């Protein structure tokens, strides 16, 4: 009973507090709403940390869906990693939103769903079997939907509907696989190395490969892999910047987390290695890496550029998973951590620029570094991390991914992988560093630009740096991305512990 309470508290506390916030219409004073939300975020973070640090690996059955299928929570090393990442990013983005959302309407509704989604993600991290994970995965989709459509413009509503359509389409493919696994496997409890017996593989191997392919493709919708990526660059730009940060930093990682469970805890790496499923997975992930970088390179709207970047960078993680090689999978997990921190930082920086200056396009950001130095320095350092420049954690992850590809000895992909990763890194530099260059070294590139600058009043160019509630989360997330790159051993040793059970 005690284990059940400890496991449930970080799930139920924010869901309960968020629901109360939604329905307590008398709660209108902004200071009270912020205090209430901040308390909810802090309590959830403490409860999650208690589970992560102190609770032994537990298995708690909440109830039985059928006589053979329990809804259960099961904590393991991968779940701990996901919960910690969610807590850090969610709290930082939440604090940032206290300042950013002051110019938005319906804050109470926003914070209500923000807390509810936090709790659902805590449940996703602790999911013990496929049914439980699928339930929390769908709850995550629904809880995040109001964050996407928050401003209720036509563009936001259409983007939200596109997000739902793609998400449900992918979820139905995963559900199809769930039905088959329930019929062919003795258990659907996540087990390192997989749940399929040799007899079942021998008898139904080809059908199970189809099911595995469908489930990977279905969950990859949330992770933005081609050809089901189009919702992501549509939904992210229309959401408030803090929501974009958690969508790109965390919600999409829900899809990656589900793929990790499917590949290594349900089907097993040995079953998939050398099959057409692995080949298709590798092709799609590499193509998405390249395609997303090229689309980002040609996009002028800052948040949309970052959204296309997310499409590309997520497939770095998927490529490492698809290689089924220890070094590459280690690189995937490092990139999962690094991308969550870095991309959240970039979206929050973009939000600060939009909120304080009103500028939304990269071409408009001439001189913004002099007006918002801390923000643009954080953007610059995070950009270097995404490119893969040491000493950031982005360098560690990309080194491991390239090394893992070379060690995999998979024809074509052992060389194509590193080549495409390098090309993508160059494109990443091409679409992120111009913000820094324009921001700190505006220069004059044409007579038109010179005329435009002369017509600009001094008031327009005054400093418009964000307040402490904006800057502190940016500095914290940026510092984490650098420190993990400078001192990666703790992170790598923990990841090695995860890999020892699945590869």
CA distance 128 to 222: 20
Q: HSE of 214 in the Cβ direction (CA atoms, 13 Å)?
A: 18
Whether 447 shows a pLDDT value over 50: the answer reads: no
**Confidence tier at 229 by pLDDT (50, 70, 90):** confident
**Average pLDDT score over residue span 53-76:** 83
Whether 457 shows a pLDDT value over 60: the answer reads: no
Residue 13: predicted pLDDT: 94
The pLDDT tens digits for 312-353 are 999 999 999 999 999 999 999 999 999 999 999 999 999 999
Higher pLDDT, 449 or 200: 200
Global pTM reads 0.92
Q: Cis before residue 247, ω within 30 degrees of 0? A: no
DSSP bridge partners of 72: 61
Give the containing element (helix H, strand E) for 74: strand 70-74
Q: HSE of 55 in the Cβ direction (CA atoms, 13 Å)?
A: 28
**Confidence tier at 460 by pLDDT (50, 70, 90):** very low
CA distance 152 to 146: 9
Radius of gyration for the chain, computed over Cα atoms and rounded to the nearest angstrom: 22
CA distance 227 to 478: 32
Q: HSE of 503 in the Cβ direction (CA atoms, 13 Å)?
A: 18
Residue 443: predicted pLDDT: 67
Q: Which of 310, 334, 320, 286 minimizes the C-alpha distance to 237? A: 310
According to DSSP, residue 301 is labeled B
Q: Which of 266, 419, 428 minimizes the C-alpha distance to 339? A: 428
Q: What is the mean pLDDT of the chain?
A: 88
Q: Which of 361, 103, 87, 111 minimizes the C-alpha distance to 237? A: 361
Tell me if 190 sits within 8 A of 498, measured CB to CB: no
- Gap between the terminal Cα atoms of the chain: 33
**Bridge-based pairing state of the strands 70-74 and 59-64:** antiparallel
């Amino acid at each position: 009973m005690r284990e059940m309470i400890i496991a449930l508290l970080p799930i139920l506390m924010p869901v309960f507090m968020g629901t109360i916030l939604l329905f307590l219409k008398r709660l209108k004073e902004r200071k009270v709403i912020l205090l209430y939300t901040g308390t909810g975020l802090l309590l959830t973070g403490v409860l999650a940390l208690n589970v992560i640090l102190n609770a032994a690996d537990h298995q708690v059955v909440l109830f039985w869906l059928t006589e053979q299928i329990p809804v259960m929570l099961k904590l393991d090393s991968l779940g701990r990693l996901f919960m910690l990442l969610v807590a850090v990013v969610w709290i930082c983005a939440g604090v940032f939103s206290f300042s950013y959302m002051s110019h938005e309407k319906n804050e109470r509704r926003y914070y209500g769903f923000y807390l509810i989604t936090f709790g659902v993600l805590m449940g996703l991290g602790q999911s013990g079997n496929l049914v439980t994970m699928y339930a929390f995965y769908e709850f995550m989709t629904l809880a995040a939907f109001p964050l996407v459509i928050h401003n209720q413009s036509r563009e936001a509503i259409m983007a939200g509907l596109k997000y739902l359509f793609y998400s449900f389409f992918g979820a139905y493919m995963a559900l199809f696989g769930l039905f088959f696994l329930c019929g062919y496997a003795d258990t659907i409890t996540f087990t390192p190395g997989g749940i399929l017996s040799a007899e079942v593989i021998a008898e139904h191997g080809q059908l199970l490969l189809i099911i595995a392919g469908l489930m990977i493709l279905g969950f990859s919708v949330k992770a933005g892999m081609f050809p089901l990526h189009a919702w992501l660059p549509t939904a992210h730009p229309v959401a408030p910047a803090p929501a974009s940060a958690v969508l790109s930093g965390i919600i999409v990682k829900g899809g990656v987390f589900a793929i990790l469970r499917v590949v290594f805890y349900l089907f097993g790496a040995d079953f998939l290695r050398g099959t057409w499923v692995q080949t298709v997975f590798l092709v799609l992930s590499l193509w998405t890496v390249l395609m997303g970088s090229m689309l980002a390179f040609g996009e002028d709207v800052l948040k949309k550029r970052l959204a296309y970047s997310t499409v590309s960078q997520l497939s770095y993680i998927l490529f490492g998973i698809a290689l089924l090689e220890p070094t590459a999978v280690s690189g995937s997990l490092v990139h999962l951590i690094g991308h969550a921190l870095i991309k959240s930082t970039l979206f929050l920086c973009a939000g600060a620029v939009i909120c304080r200056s009103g500028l939304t396009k990269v071409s408009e950001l001439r001189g913004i570094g002099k007006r918002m130095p801390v923000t643009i320095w954080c953007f610059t350092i995070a950009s270097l991390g995404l490119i893969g420049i040491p000493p950031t954690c982005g360098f560690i992850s990309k080194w491991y991914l390239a090394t893992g590809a070379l060690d995999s000895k998979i024809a074509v992909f052992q060389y194509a992988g590193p080549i495409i990763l390098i090309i993508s890194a160059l494109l990443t530099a091409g679409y992120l560093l111009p913000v820094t260059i324009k921001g700190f070294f505006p220069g004059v590139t044409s007579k038109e630009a010179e005329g435009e600058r002369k017509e600009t009043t001094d008031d327009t160019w005054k400093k418009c740096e964000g307040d402490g509630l904006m800057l502190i989360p940016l500095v914290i997330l940026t510092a984490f991305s650098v420190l993990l790159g400078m001192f990666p051993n703790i992170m790598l040793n923990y990841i090695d512990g995860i890999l020892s059970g699945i590869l």
